[in-house]
């Protein structure tokens, strides 16, 4: 199957993700896919939550923390500023406390708790995945292309989500038990019904959000997850491992794309030994890739003679990936 | 809020019927209600412990989401902390 066929055959797969080790070209392929789909008349948002995001670089425009920016007709890009999002969120909590209790100032110990929370390692992941839910639930684009942070984060989050979910069930149970006590006390004291439990509602909201964010990565109908790899033995082995892990968390793997393949025809020319050796090495790795991933390999993309940067080179790449000419 | 309280009081302590109702409540169920209230408040403290444990150095819920719960427990934080730290072993105090 080719890339174009995957998109034609599964029009419902609206969440597109490229995963792989750092520096293999996830952002590049995200941009090229966005370009292709936009040219096909789809409204596309390509977004990233990585603090070292490179969408700004590849589109040659500073879009960091500025919302959805139109790059060309139908193609929008966005880089989420996770730090600012955390700060805004903490401020929102402070305001809520102040207005709920008519306070002028947040009590010392509460304030220090809020401040300390941003130092927690899980804070950023949670904030990032929560931001993704916000972007995706709006649903105002045909396609969402998620330029993932390196693999570890996504896996870490997915396993975290599973643990939190079980944990939330437990404390929700405790909350329900507390509610039964409230009702019993009210009956004994012959008071009218009890007030609604705000905390219970919050727990339900949290459960929904965590569910929604892991669903974006694991929805077999709507998600297409592609792996990027290069023809090097170590990368192939790593990718195979990662693919197995992702499969364990039910991430629907849609295919593999091989990047930076050096043209074999160069061997016929008078080239330095260094290049010859690299081509031979790649040939071995490419065989390994074919044996390991078989027909799931959707495309082999050559090593370009310049960096993919700006819409012109993105178009060149999209033409190779999707085997089609764009004007 | 104050009106509601007054109404409740009126309902509870009006006339002879009201007197007997309060009397039987005091005799029969007041103790039970007190006990239930005590259990309920222990549960409340247990709940805060497992969601806001960080405050005592026990991290559990991802802070991103526990912050959402924080506003709702603000009034209880001080009594909770006092209670948890007063006990020789706060795990004992959970129940």
In this complex, which of B40, B72, B75 lies closest to A182 when CB atoms are compared? B40
Q: Are A322 and A281 in contact (CB under 8 A)?
A: no
A282's CB contacts (< 8 A; 6+ apart) are A231, A232, A261, A262
Reported ipTM exceeds the 0.95 cut: no
A19 within a domain of the structure (yes/no) = yes
Q: Round to whole Å and give the CA distance between B17 and A96.
A: 45
Query: Is A111 in the same domain as A251?
Result: no
Q: Round to whole Å and give the CA distance between A284 and A47.
A: 35
Distances (CA, A) of A301 to A28, A100, A278, A291, A322: 11, 57, 16, 18, 10
- Angle, in degrees to the nearest 10, between helices A198-218 and A121-138: 80
Tens digit of each residue's pLDDT, chain A (327 residues) = 899 999 999 999 999 999 888 888 899 999 999 999 999 999 999 998 877 768 999 999 999 999 999 999 999 999 999 889 999 999 999 999 999 999 999 999 899 989 988 887 778 888 888 888 899 888 899 999 998 766 667 777 778 788 888 888 888 999 999 999 888 888 888 777 667 888 999 999 999 998 888 888 888 899 999 999 999 999 999 999 989 988 888 889 999 999 999 999 999 999 999 999 999 999 999 999 999 999 999 999 999 999 999 999 999 999 999 999 997
Residue A107 to residue B44, Cβ atoms within 8 A: no
Structural domains counted in chain B: 1
Q: Round to whole Å and give the CA distance between A271 and A63.
A: 42
Query: Is A96 in the same domain as A227?
Result: no
A14 within a domain of the structure (yes/no) = yes
Query: Is A94 in the same domain as A238?
Result: no
Q: What is the pLDDT of residue A208?
A: 92
Residue B53 has a CB neighbour count (10 Å cut-off) of 15
Question: Is B21 within 8 Å of chain A by CB?
Answer: yes
A273 within a domain of the structure (yes/no) = yes
Query: Is A23 in the same domain as A68?
Result: yes
Q: Round to whole Å and give the CA distance between B69 and B63.
A: 10
Segments forming the whole domain that contains residue B74: 2-94
Q: Round to whole Å and give the CA distance between B48 and A108.
A: 18
Shortest Cα distance, chain B CAs vs residue A269, angstroms: 58
pLDDT in tens, B3-30: 555 555 555 556 777 777 777 777 777 7
Domain harbouring A279, CATH code:
3.40.50.300
Q: Round to whole Å and give the CA distance between A189 and A192.
A: 9
Sign, Cα dihedral of A169, A170, A175, A181: positive
Query: Is A99 in the same domain as A29?
Result: no
Q: A312: helix, coil or strand?
A: helix
What is the mean pLDDT of the segment spanning B61-70?
84
Query: Is A151 in the same domain as A108?
Result: no
Phi, psi angles (nearest 5°) of residue A19: -120, 160
Size of interface A-B (CB pairs under 8 A): 110
A182 within a domain of the structure (yes/no) = no
Distances (CA, A) of B8 to A85, A163, A185, A189, B3: 46, 45, 15, 11, 9
Give the closest residue to A259 by CA, choosing from A16, A39, A19. Answer: A19
Per-residue exposure over A37-55, b if at least 16 CB sit within 10 Å of its own CB, e if not: bbbbebebbbbbbbeebbb
A65 within a domain of the structure (yes/no) = yes
Q: What angle do CA A284, A289, A295 make, to 5 degrees?
A: 135
In this complex, which of A100, A123, A199 lies closest to B69 when CB atoms are compared? A199
Q: Are A52 and A83 in contact (CB under 8 A)?
A: no
Query: Is A294 in the same domain as A256?
Result: yes
Segments forming the whole domain that contains residue A113: 90-117
Query: Is A255 in the same domain as A271?
Result: yes
Average pLDDT over chain A reads 90
In this complex, which of A109, A117, A190 lies closest to B63 when CB atoms are compared? A117
Cβ within 8 Å of B, A 97-116: 97, 100-101, 107, 109-110, 113-114, 116
Query: Is A45 in the same domain as A108?
Result: no
Structural domains counted in chain A: 2
Question: Is A87 within 8 Å of chain B by CB?
Answer: no
SS (H, E, C) A24-37: CCHHHHHHHHHHHH
């Amino acid at each position: 199957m080719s890339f174009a066929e995957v998109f034609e055959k599964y029009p419902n797969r609206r969440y597109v993700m490229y995963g792989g080790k750092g520096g293999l070209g996830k952002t590049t392929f995200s941009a090229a896919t966005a370009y292709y789909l936009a040219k096909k008349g789809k409204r596309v948002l390509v977004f990233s939550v990585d603090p070292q995001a490179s969408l700004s670089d590849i589109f040659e425009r500073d879009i960091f923390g500025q919302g959805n920016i139109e790059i060309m007709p139908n193609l929008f890009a966005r880089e989420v500023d996770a730090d600012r999002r955390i700060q805004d969120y903490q401020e929102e909590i402070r305001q809520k406390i102040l207005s709920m209790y008519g306070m002028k100032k947040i009590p010392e110990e509460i304030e220090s708790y809020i401040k300390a929370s941003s130092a927690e390692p899980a804070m950023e992941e949670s904030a990032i995945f929560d931001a993704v839910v916000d972007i995706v639930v709006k649903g105002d684009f045909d396609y969402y292309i998620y330029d993932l942070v390196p693999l570890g984060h996504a896996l870490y989050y997915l396993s975290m989500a599973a643990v939190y979910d079980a944990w939330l069930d437990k404390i929700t149970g405790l909350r329900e038990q507390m509610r039964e006590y409230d009702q019993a006390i009210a009956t004994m004291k012959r008071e009218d019904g009890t007030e609604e439990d705000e905390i219970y509602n919050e727990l339900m909201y949290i459960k929904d959000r965590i569910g929604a964010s892991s669903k974006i990565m694991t929805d077999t109908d709507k998600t297409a997850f592609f792996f990027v790899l290069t023809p090097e033995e170590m990368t192939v082995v790593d990718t195979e491992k990662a693919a197995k892990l992702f499969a364990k968390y039910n991430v629907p793997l849609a295919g593999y794309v091989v990047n930076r393949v050096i043209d074999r025809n160069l061997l016929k020319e008078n080239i330095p030994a260094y290049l010859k050796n690299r081509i031979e090495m790649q040939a071995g790795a490419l065989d390994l890739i074919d044996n390991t991933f078989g027909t799931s390999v959707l495309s082999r993309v050559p090593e370009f003679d310049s960096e993919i940067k700006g819409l012109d080179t993105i178009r060149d790449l999209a033409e190779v990936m999707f085997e089609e000419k764009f004007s | 809020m104050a009106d509601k309280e007054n109404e409740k009081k009126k309902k509870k302590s009006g006339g002879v019927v009201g007197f007997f109702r309060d009397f039987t409540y005091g005799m029969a169920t007041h103790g039970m209600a007190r006990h239930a209230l005590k259990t309920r408040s222990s549960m409340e403290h247990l709940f805060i412990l497992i969601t806001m444990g960080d405050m005592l150095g026990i991290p559990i819920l991802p802070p991103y989401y526990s912050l959402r719960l924080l506003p709702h427990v603000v009034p209880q934080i001080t009594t909770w902390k006092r209670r948890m730290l007063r006990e020789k072993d706060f795990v004992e105090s959970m129940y």
